Each structure stands twice: as structure tokens, then as C-alpha cells.
Structure 1
Amino acid sequence: MHTTVASSPGKVLLAGGYLVLDQHYQGLVVGASARFYCAVTTFKPDDKTHFADNTFPIVVQSPQFESAEWAYTLSYLPELKIWKLSENTALRNPFVEIVLFYTFNLLEYTLGHEMFVQRWNNAGLKIKVFGDNDFYSQQERLSERGLPNTTQSLQSLPRFLPTGTTLSKVHKTGLGSSATLVTSLVAALFTHFGFSQTLTRQPEATGSSLSVDFLAWVHNMAQFCHCLAQGKIGSGFDVSAAVYGSHLYRRFNPAVLEPILPSEFTLTKLPTLDLPHLHSTLSPDHAGWDHTKQPAALPPGFRLMLADVDAGSHTPSMVSKVLAWRKTHPSAAQQLWDALGNLNHGLASLFQELTQEAHLHKDAYQQALDQFTQLPTHQWANVCNTEPTLQDSPIVDIAQRFVKVASTFATIRQYLRDMGDQSHVPIEPIRQTELLDRCMQVAGVVMAGVPGAGGYDAIFCVILGDASAKQVESVWNEWKDMNVSPLLVEESKGGVRLEDPDQILTGN
């Protein structure tokens, strides 16, 4: 049996909540170490009679959930020159079925009918989808084992632990599981059927074994499928992070997708396909794909920490209310958006500058890092003026940038609270503010905030050093007002990638 496994990272939007929906502004997104995996395996069914008329079985399984198996039949309709996807189970999964339907039709159009059928090799497909534990709250799993909510407890859990519930009832942690599912499934199918062999190979993307062209096709197809499955064209930063990892993202113009998005999608009433138009629209050569992705990452020595907060917010509702306020108060909103946009871009620039300094002046950078690890940020500016070791160039420039990172993000937080107050949306609720302010009192904590659209779902900290991490976790463990559970998430290295099936599928 031939097996292909692709994985994609989750996401944490550090800066750019709400603004990232507008093409005029950027969002700083960090790829998460938690990954979603899709394994595509060719298998020989017992019943081969259906191969005579170009009909193939597909079985999709999600072993971490109860009642999570979907059976499909892919069959060719010569009169329409498209492949029809029929569902053999009552339980729908639009994210899976939309990817399968559009990806197979695009593959057939690109490879040609004869080559596409040949790639099936008179066989069916078994697809397994599963995510790292951090995509789902593990608080109940820990409680069942009599374990406290600590990173040590989480590390003791088996990988890809079953959730004990159905997909519709699981408590997610906001890392973008649907975007990573769609992205990894598109990448796995493209690879399994040899789509990359049809592309003009460009230099490989930095830190990836996949070509620039291939990644762009995966990105565009995943954005299209994810938008259709969600029923709307979102900002796309979650899919972009699943493809490329950490970066500074500016969204694409939604007009590029509108002509090919059907008004609705169901397997009982499949949309009419114009395959040449679909292919040309999703091609990276299409001028409508005007998004940008500038390289960005946490500077050396900076570490991301994330916690699951067991309270919950409804993000679409929050977003709609903020956008409604922006529409009715355009002048005030514009001032706030512009100020936040400048701060978000400035934060990303500071990260880039510190990364460069770490390489150009390694010893000086380490001295500043060591000094600030021992102090809370409210003391950083004073120590820059009084500590002799921070007065010598180039250490002084590096130290000032550390201070500016902390002050810039503190201002971002304040403006987001202002946005919440004016729109009557709990972007940073008072209970979160109290917890975040307490985290900021810990030595070596550079930033503490609510990711993405905010609310009660999660918090993040960016810290310096292991000692800071331990103190932050102690704050979380001792916090009484909310149930705060740490996640194992750190910043990911790279985006979508191909995996060794033997390493990933053992025991799954």
C-alpha cells in the first residue's frame, strides 16, 4: 500500500485581531507546534466491480472522535466531464467533502483523465485525519486520570489521544483545526496523485522541501475550500499560517474567489463546474491573489506559551458586532484601526530587528536577554539607564528594542480594550485583564494577551527563559477566578510539510 502523510501547523494571531479582515492592515501570526495530520493510503477493496465505470471508494476516518467515519464514492460523469462525489453515510463533514470534490476534479483536469484514472491504480483511498492533543481541551482527560492541569501532566498523555466525544461536541482550543485539516488534506492529495510533477519547479521555499509553486497551489485551493465550508470568505490568516507558518499576513481580495464560490454546496445537488475557470482562478498566476506574507517570527530566546481558558466565546458574533460598530462610527474606528495597524507593523519590525541583532551581535544580545529575563517589564526602562552592562554599544540599541517590544504590545492591548469598550464587545474581558496583568508581573514576561478576536477562549504569553515559564505556569495553576490550563504549544518551525508515514502512523 502506498501512503502519503502531510501535516500543517495551527495558528496563534499575536497581533492583528479584527484588523486582519481588512486588506489595508496586516496581522502577525505565529505557526503553532501543534499539527494536524492527513494520511492518504491506497487500498485494494474486496469488490472490484465498480472500477469498470471509473468509480472508486473513499473512506475517511477521524480516530480521535466517536462516530467519525465517512464513506464516499467517486464516480465519473462523462456527459458533464466531472467527477461526482456521493456520500454513503448520513453524517456530513463539509470540510472533508468539499476538499475531496474540488481537489479530485482539479487533479483530473490538470493531469488529464487517463493519467488521473491510472493514478488510482484500480484501488480506493483510506484517509485518516488526526491532530495533536493541543487542538482540543484535555482538562477532562486529565481529570479522569486524577492529574493536575500542568504541562508535566499533558506531556504524560498519549499522542493523538481520543477525545471521548463527537466532533460537534468537542471543546476546541482555538488553534485553527479546520484550517489545518483542509490544508493538510489538500497537500496530501496533491502529493499522492503527483500534482507537483505538473508544475514548473521553482526554488524550494525557505525551510521546506516543497516548491514555491506547490505551496501556492495548496494555499489557494485550501483558502477556497475553507471559505466554502465556512459559508463565508474570512481573512484567511489561519490557512496561510497552516501553509507557511509564522509571518506577517495581509489578506487577499475576496473578489478573487467570489466568481467560483457556489451559493451553496451539497452532495445531493453538486454545483456546476467550469473547470478551466476554476483552474485559472486558483492558479498562483492569477492577479487576484494579492495577499502578502512577509517573513516574521519570534526573536531568538523568545518563547510562546498558551493556555486554554475554560469559559468560551463565540468569535463570529464578536466579529460581527465589532464590524457593525466600525460601520456606524467610521471616524473613531478609522483612528483606532490606523493606530493599531501601525503598532502591529512596528511590533513585527522589532521582532525582525532583534533577530538580526541576535545574529550580528550574539554576545551583546545574550547579555541583554540574560538581564531582562530576571526583571518584569515595568523595570526594563529603568535598568537600561542604570545598569552599566547595558550602556555599551551595541548592547544599548538591543536593550532599547527589548523595552520597545514590551511597551508596543502594552499599547496594543490598551487599544484593543478601547475597541471592546466602544463596540461593547468583550475583546479583553476584565477577568482576562486581571490574569494578564498578573502574568506581566512575572520576571521575563515580554507580552501577555488574548489571541485573535480575544474573548475568554485562551491567553498567551511570550516569555524569556525556563524560569519565567515555570513562574507563569504557577500563576495559571493558582488562579481561582477561571480554570486556566496550559497547553504544550510553542512556535512552529515552518508550515505544511510531508511526513514519514512510519513515524506518524505507528499506533494510529
Structure 2
Amino acid sequence: MAQVVASAPGKVLMTGGYLILERPNAGIVLSTTARFYAIVKPFYEEVKQDSWAWAWTDVKVTSPQLSRETMYKLSHKNSTLHCISSRDSANPFVEQAVQYAVAIATTIINDRGKKDELQKLLLQGLDITILGCNDFYSYRNQIEARGLPLRPEALTSLPPFSSITFNAEGSDRTVTRDNCKPEVAKTGLGSSAAMTTSVVAALLHYLGVVRLPSSAKNPIEEKLLNSDLDLVHIAAQTGHCIAQGKVGSGFDVSAAVYGSQRYVRFSPGVLSSAQLAVKGKPLQEIIAGILKEKWDHEKIKFSLPPLMTLLLGEPGTGGSSTPSMVGAVKRWQTSDPQKALETWKKLAEANSALEMQLKILSKFAEEQWDMYRFIIRNCSEYTYDKWMQQAANTYQEAIVKSLLGTRDAFLHIRYHMQQMGQTAGVPIEPESQTRLLDATMNMKGVLLAGVPGAGGFDAIFAITLGESGNNVADAWSKLSVLPMLVREDPQGVSLESGDPRVKDISSAISSIHI
């Protein structure tokens, strides 16, 4: 089989921070233009005559941006990987993605009676290359070191899939492969989930288990592929949870598979059998259990209303540890359950109000397009306090009221998140971010601005109207915030074989020497 290229997007959790960890709380998660790509092709050009007696598959995993190449042997008997090169270059997310994808493929294809076809593919070996868009990583330090302005153009000037810089462990030492380590400063877009999903999707498509949607999918194709995407989700969600050592909410993997959505987490119990993997239970038995489980997560399509743009900016104040912040909030919940329950309830109400207003705006766009477009474009040129003045009739007033209702709901979300952070003793919306977000929400054409997900010092986001995003980017640059190139892209995992970006991917690989 020729090479397969699959991609999966990064995410921005707009609402549902912390609440999304517990059912039945919902969160709105937007998938983005930042994507991870996995390329799968045969390691050998043809199957050797004596290879049918082999019990192992050769697997090579290459990460050009990290200048890393890892060799494995994959057991045909139990689908487990055994690293035969330096452990320093191994990646648990990639390893689990490969293991669970192959294990699920083996189970399903054996049931279909096509064992020989799978065996032939595996005996040719697997050559896997992984690349992530620059948006997943912070290049702010390099931009500042080169004296370039904090402008999107500086990011555009970087070659696609730029190499991640290496730092010497000692300032007086020469940097070599043996004494350096990758500096992976991330932007909080869910790189591990997108990477895991892209690898799983590419392998399942390559091995003939699923058919992935193309970048330009149509509604008929989409309906046919739902069950295939569910398989990708099961394998990616399982592998990702095992790799990170805990069963998270899973919204990042769900967004990587299905795209922008309103998400309610699955019951953690569906992965109870997978957690036995670390105790030595055979992978094939685990897979059989996982495939029989009822995955009860909810994923309802949801994207921003028309003429609205997602913007992200890097404040340059350093990142935050999401696990430690979540841990602090959970301890607060335990120590003051009454207060926590009250805050949870108010946050859930504000999240629902925001979701409802955005749905109303989408409906206005569908039913009253000309009026909707007129109001959005007019309001994009003014600050929020002058929006109502742009309405000339009752219909237009209703649209403006929904815009203001969206803004008001989000201010309530921010307030309760701030209160929760102060009580739990963690910087969910630190003072520096509050000043920046308040300034952003007072700019022309800005609907809302906040810290995504668990909050902290990671990237900030804004939703802007019409063409006002350019003005916000200019203002952010003056406030020492680097405007990122990321936008919303509602599409989840996709097959990229016919996509022009494949050329960029191939040239990026050939330009990086390991």
C-alpha cells in the first residue's frame, strides 16, 4: 500500500474548564487549524520469502522536528512494542498509539476473516513519521532573540514544521546530540492528543480497518464514516489515557477526532480494563473488553457563528501545569464541598447561557443573513457599549441583544473562575491575565476574551467580529502579546493524501537531517 497521511487538530476549550471533568457537565471545545500529521508507509518495499515465519514487525518512528528516530520490534502475538534503540528517544504517547491501533486492527480484521492481508502489511514493517504544525510550539524566545517584532508575520516567516531548538545542559558546553535536550515550550493546544490521534488514524486507515474522511468531506461521506471515527476515538482515547497515566476528561482527543463540539465526558469505568494493561494483562484481552464497553460521551457539533474569528495570543509569561492546578481545585472541593457545589452550579449556568446565545446567533445567521451580516460588520468597528446604536429595527436589536448576552455570560464565567482560583489557591485567571483580558474585551469588535481550559499563564483567546481581528492583533503586539496564526477549523481527523499540504510535509522531512 502507498503511504497514508492523516492529520488531527489541536483544541481550545472555550467553556467547561474543571467542570468538564465530571459528568454531566458540558464544555464547548473548538478544534483549530493547528494540526499534527502522521505518515505511515511500508518499512520494506516487499515481503521477503522467509518473513512469514517471523513473529515480529520492524517499526521505525521518526520525529524530524525533534531530530529523533526510534526503532521497535512489534510482537505479532500480543501487539506490544519493544524498543531496540535508546529509550531517551521514545515517546509513550506514540508507543501506546501504535500498540492500541495495531491491537484493534488485529481483533477486527481477524473477525472479518482477512488475517493474511493484515499479516502481509505487518511483515513489510511500519515506517511512521510524525510532524506538528508550528502553532503547537512557542517560538517567541527565538523571535525576540532575533529582534523581530511580536507580529504574526514573524511566525509566518518560519519554515513549516520548524525544528524545535535544543539547549545545552551546561552553559559552557558545546551542544551535541549527547548533551542536549529538546526545549518543548508548548502553546496549550493539546499536542499529545492531536499527535496520538493522527498516529492511530493513519495506522487504522493504512491497515484497512477504517476509511478516514478527506479534508473536503461531504455529508453523505460523513454519515458513512461515523462508526469508523468511533473506532479511531476508542483507540486514541485509550492509548492517550494509558500514556498519561490517568483517565482524563478526554475532550482534547474527542476534538482531535470529531472536530469542534459540545462535549460531555465518558464514564471513566469504560477504561477500567485498559488500566489493567500496566499490570500485565494481555493487550488482546483488554481490547476485546474496551470494544464491548458502552462509550457514553456526548459530542454535539458546535462551531462559532459566521463572521466570528477565534484568535490566540502568547503573553510570554510562561506556561502552567494543568495537572497541579486540577489537583488544587479537587482538594478545595473536598475541603469545602458546599462552596464548591455552589460555584460549580453558577459556572454551569453561565456556560449554558453562553452556549444558548451562540446558538441563537447561528440561527439568526441562517434565517436573517443580510441583517446578521450588517450588524456583525457594523459592530466590528465599535466597542461593545456602542453596539446597540448600530441597530435600526427590532430584528437587528435582537441580534445585538444576543451579542451582548454572549458577552455578559462570558463575564460571569470569568468571574466564577476567578473566585474558584482565589479560593483554591491557584492562578486560574492571574492578575496579569485579567488586566490583559479586560483591555482586550474593551477593544473594537471584540465579543469576548479569556483563558482557555484550566487557565493559568498559557495562551489567551479572543472571539472577534468581522475583520476586527487585525486590529486586535496590532493592539496585542503593543501589549507584548504575540498574536498566533491559529484559527478555528471545525473539522476533526482527516485523510490528507490528496491535500497540497502533503507536499509541504514531504519537503519538510527532506530538509531536516537526523
Would you say the 8 A contact 2:449–2:463 is kept in 1? yes
User: 1:142-161 counterparts in 2 under 5 A?
Assistant: 142-143=143-144, 145-161=146-162
Tell me, in whole angstroms, the C-alpha distance in 2 between the residues paired with 1:207 and 1:488. Answer: 30
Report what 2:300 is aligned to: 294
Report what 2:103 is aligned to: 105
Deviation at 1:47, TM superposition (A): 10
Report what 1:95 is aligned to: 93
Compared CA separation, residues 169 and 50, structure 1 to 2 (3 A): farther
Report what 2:342 is aligned to: 335
Equivalent position amino acid for 1:496 in 2: V
Deviation at 1:367, TM superposition (A): 2.0
Q: Which secondary structure state, in structure 1, belongs to the residue aligned with residue 103 of structure 2? A: helix
Deviation digits for residues 11-30 of structure 1, max 9, x if unmatched?
Answer: 00111110110112111111
Report what 1:440 is aligned to: 441
Supply the RMSD in Å over aligned alpha carbons: 2.3
Would you say the 8 A contact 1:244–1:496 is kept in 2? yes
Would you say the 8 A contact 2:165–2:182 is kept in 1? no
Find out whether 1:281 has 2:278 as its counterpart: no
Tell me, in whole angstroms, the C-alpha distance in 1 between the residues paired with 2:181 and 2:349. Answer: 39
Would you say the 8 A contact 1:45–1:124 is kept in 2? no
Compared CA separation, residues 36 and 197, structure 1 to 2 (3 A): closer
Report what 1:214 is aligned to: 228
Identify which range, 173-182 or 350-359, moves more after superposition: 350-359
Q: Which secondary structure state, in structure 1, belongs to the residue aligned with residue 79 of structure 2? A: strand
Tell me, in whole angstroms, the C-alpha distance in 2 between the residues paired with 1:464 and 1:167. Answer: 42
Deviation at 1:70, TM superposition (A): 1.1
Compared CA separation, residues 197 and 294, structure 1 to 2 (3 A): closer
Tell me, in whole angstroms, the C-alpha distance in 2 between the residues paired with 1:117 and 1:197. Answer: 19
State the TM-score, normalizing by the size of structure 2.
Answer: 0.88
User: 1:99-178 counterparts in 2 under 5 A?
Assistant: 99-112=97-110, 113-120=115-122, 122-143=123-144, 145-165=146-166, 169-178=183-192
User: 1:389-404 counterparts in 2 under 5 A?
Assistant: 390-404=391-405
Compared CA separation, residues 220 and 273, structure 1 to 2 (3 A): same
Deviation digits for residues 22-43 of structure 1, max 9, x if unmatched?
Answer: 1121111110110000000113
Tell me, in whole angstroms, the C-alpha distance in 1 between the residues paired with 2:96 and 2:139. Answer: 29
Deviation at 1:274, TM superposition (A): 5.8
Tell me, in whole angstroms, the C-alpha distance in 2 between the residues paired with 1:242 and 1:298. Answer: 17
Would you say the 8 A contact 1:83–1:104 is kept in 2? yes
Would you say the 8 A contact 2:164–2:182 is kept in 1? no
Deviation at 1:221, TM superposition (A): 1.2
Tell me, in whole angstroms, the C-alpha distance in 1 between the residues paired with 2:181 and 2:366. Answer: 45
Equivalent position amino acid for 2:35 in 1: R
Q: Which secondary structure state, in structure 2, belongs to the residue aligned with residue 394 of structure 1? A: helix
Deviation at 1:492, TM superposition (A): 0.9
Report what 1:245 is aligned to: 259
Compared CA separation, residues 186 and 46, structure 1 to 2 (3 A): closer
Identify which range, 401-410 or 343-352, moves more after superposition: 343-352
Identify which range, 44-53 or 156-165, moves more after superposition: 44-53
Report what 1:359 is aligned to: 366
User: 1:473-488 counterparts in 2 under 5 A?
Assistant: 473-479=473-479, 483-488=480-485
Q: Of residues 229, 232, 242 in structure 1, which corresponds to 2:246?
A: 232
Report what 2:458 is aligned to: 457
Would you say the 8 A contact 2:31–2:255 is kept in 1? yes
Deviation at 1:220, TM superposition (A): 1.3
Tell me, in whole angstroms, the C-alpha distance in 2 between the residues paired with 1:312 and 1:423. Answer: 19
Compared CA separation, residues 506 and 210, structure 1 to 2 (3 A): farther
Q: Which secondary structure state, in structure 2, belongs to the residue aligned with residue 31 of structure 1? A: strand
Compared CA separation, residues 197 and 347, structure 1 to 2 (3 A): closer
Deviation digits for residues 157-191 of structure 1, max 9, x if unmatched?
Answer: 21111112377531010000000011111110000
Q: Which secondary structure state, in structure 1, belongs to the residue aligned with residue 379 of structure 2? A: helix
Equivalent position amino acid for 1:102 in 2: Y
Deviation at 1:143, TM superposition (A): 3.9
Deviation digits for residues 65-107 of structure 1, max 9, x if unmatched?
Answer: 13x2111112334xxxx23421111222111111212221221
Report what 1:431 is aligned to: 432
Compared CA separation, residues 218 and 46, structure 1 to 2 (3 A): closer
Find out whether 1:14 has 2:14 as its counterpart: yes
Deviation at 1:207, TM superposition (A): 8.1
Count of aligned pairs: 480
Q: Which secondary structure state, in structure 2, belongs to the residue aligned with residue 489 of structure 1? A: coil
Compared CA separation, residues 162 and 144, structure 1 to 2 (3 A): farther
Tell me, in whole angstroms, the C-alpha distance in 1 between the residues paired with 2:273 and 2:285. Answer: 13
Tell me, in whole angstroms, the C-alpha distance in 1 between the residues paired with 2:126 and 2:46. Answer: 13
Q: Of residues 314, 325, 347 in structure 2, which corresponds to 1:308?
A: 314
Deviation at 1:503, TM superposition (A): 3.7
Deviation at 1:255, TM superposition (A): 0.7
Identify which range, 4-13 or 209-218, moves more after superposition: 209-218
Would you say the 8 A contact 1:296–1:351 is kept in 2? no
Deviation at 1:153, TM superposition (A): 1.6
Identify which range, 437-446 or 37-46, moves more after superposition: 37-46
Deviation at 1:228, TM superposition (A): 0.3
Tell me, in whole angstroms, the C-alpha distance in 2 between the residues paired with 1:492 and 1:210. Answer: 21
Would you say the 8 A contact 2:273–2:286 is kept in 1? no
Identify which range, 185-194 or 101-110, moves more after superposition: 101-110
Q: Of residues 281, 298, 317 in structure 2, which corresponds to 1:272?
A: 281
Find out whether 1:350 has 2:360 as its counterpart: no
Would you say the 8 A contact 2:319–2:457 is kept in 1? yes
Q: Which secondary structure state, in structure 1, belongs to the residue aligned with residue 429 of structure 2? A: coil
User: 1:412-423 counterparts in 2 under 5 A?
Assistant: 412-423=413-424
Report what 1:472 is aligned to: 472
Compared CA separation, residues 435 and 207, structure 1 to 2 (3 A): farther
Unaligned runs of 5+ in 1: 266-270
Would you say the 8 A contact 1:208–1:494 is kept in 2? no
Q: Which secondary structure state, in structure 2, belongs to the residue aligned with residue 71 of structure 1? A: strand
Report what 1:74 is aligned to: 74
Would you say the 8 A contact 2:361–2:402 is kept in 1? yes
Equivalent position amino acid for 2:495 in 1: L
Tell me, in whole angstroms, the C-alpha distance in 2 between the residues paired with 1:138 and 1:206. Answer: 40
Tell me, in whole angstroms, the C-alpha distance in 2 between the residues paired with 1:98 and 1:197. Answer: 21
Deviation digits for residues 308-338 of structure 1, max 9, x if unmatched?
Answer: 2322211111110011101111111111111
Unaligned runs of 5+ in 2: 167-179, 510-514
Equivalent position amino acid for 2:491 in 1: G
Q: Which secondary structure state, in structure 1, belongs to the residue aligned with residue 314 of structure 2? A: strand
Deviation at 1:393, TM superposition (A): 3.1
Tell me, in whole angstroms, the C-alpha distance in 2 between the residues paired with 1:225 and 1:50. Answer: 29
Q: Percent identity?
A: 37
Tell me, in whole angstroms, the C-alpha distance in 1 between the residues paired with 2:443 and 2:432. Answer: 18
Q: Of residues 64, 80, 83 in structure 1, which corresponds to 2:79?
A: 83
